[in-house]
Structure 1
Amino acid sequence: MDFLKGAKDFARNPLGIIALFISLIYGFASLLLDSAAEKLTEAERWPLIIFIVIFPMMVLVAFYKLVTKHHGKLYAPGDFKDDKSFLRTLSPEEQEVRLEKEVKESFGQTKTNHIDGSVEPGNQAAQERNKQDEREKRKEEHRRFRQELEKIETQVIDRIAEEHGAKAERNVGIGSTDANFDAFLSSDEGRLTFVEVKVLRSPAPAMMMLDRVLYGAVVADKYFGSRFKLILAVVYYFEDDDLERVERIWRRKLSNCPANIELRFIPRSEVEDA
């Protein structure tokens, strides 16, 4: 009974399950060698002896890789005193990659790659100049929109944080997973509320953008259960007449997601320029 009680305690997290599995295998091998050593031939004993000697070294190597590269996956949520222990601030490199991805998702909805067709095919120099001018123009537009996107995110997050009476912690990730959000609303009530801001420059639904948000929400929901909530704020540039179709598609997609997600659509005109 004591063994079963101890096994139950071990099985509460991945680290305990691994330890229990290793103990059982090593224990059975040692027990077999000890109890049946006299009945086994020399050829039958050697594999057991080699296993008992090599197995601990294999376990050491495996644990070294787990602890150094995947330590965040070795613990269950119950091993932490506070659910916030799972939160981490994204590194500057991760923030840069994340922002660039969001710019491309939003900016890419209305980009065009057309070059003026009036240039004669034989005039290679003129064609190259046109292409270079187009690239420079797009690069500058990309830079301006990136700055605008950062201001929009700041304004929307501050507004929602003020609404909830909470402090917003920017650019947070969930443990060692790929799930990350624009902000976490930290309050005295201990609510696990996250904020994600997206920008739609055109009525295109941008399903890839939404799928990435839903994936992160599902991963976070597995960590925090019913305590997790995501406020998805979508800032749109187009007319309200075009919003109905986009909102219908997005809400239908969200209805199939098990995570608790609150969807808000905010016109660009309501977001102040910082």
Structure 2
Amino acid sequence: MKLLRVGPPGAERPVVLGRDGTAYDLSGRARDIDGAFLAGLDAAELARDVAAGVLPVVDLAGGVRVGSPVARPGKVVGIGLNYRDHAVEAGAAIPDEPVIFLKPSCTVVGPYDEVLVPRGGEKTDYEAELAVVIGRTARYLAGHAEAAEVIAGYTIANDVTERAFQFERGGQWDKGKSAETFTPLGPWLVTADEVADPQRLPLRLWVNGELRQDGNTGQMIFPVLELVRYASQFMVLEPGDVVITGTPAGVTLGRPGTPFLTSGDIVEIEIDGLGRQRQVLGKA
């Protein structure tokens, strides 16, 4: 199933898309697509309700805003340097274990919302990433089979990063990753049962129509299930949390002479089966 949230910021309502693209209102059954909803989600039962026509139809025509497909994630767990070609372009060693950082929930916006270059920002960069949405509480997972059981679904993330803050202001990644609007998510949360293999997903990113990133999740150093298992050894993953899984080569940092993002630039990201997002850059 494809789940999404539509409406103005702070007043979105939950929606599910049928296989023919018809949108159905879930607000009579759930307050929002949040941790509580995801913890009780039964994708098969929801699919039967859609097929039976028991849910109200929603008209999404006329420029209805699409919000992040997950409301108020408790935390966004970032994974750095998880594609070998990206580590090489960044001049970093190939990690022996996953590199983890955290992004606050205030970074999360909708897939078409404006991304703001922060005050003092000089080197704002993009990162196309597969995002994993957690649906069950996870702590000290023993293996990949257990990791698979806690995943609610997948979506697209842009892990926007201010490189000057990341590398030139004390060497703390969180500084460069935590500005408001720095994690556009969506457009949909595609439930895990509809993603046959999260390690076989092509992903691409364009800036102002120029293809900058063209990779595949099969190029990850540490696969999705290992990332979830590994993260659960260091923190409790809770329903509604989001794990963003790293980016392939092609970021501005790895393209000498390429200007960083600035106000008016347009970033578009596509992952096969998960949709496409688009952001216009503005200023904080």
Same fold (TM over 0.5): no
TM-score, scaled to structure 2: 0.22
User: Of Structure 1 and Structure 2, which has the larger fraction of its residues in strand?
Assistant: 2
TM-score, scaled to structure 1: 0.22
Structure showing greater Rg:
1
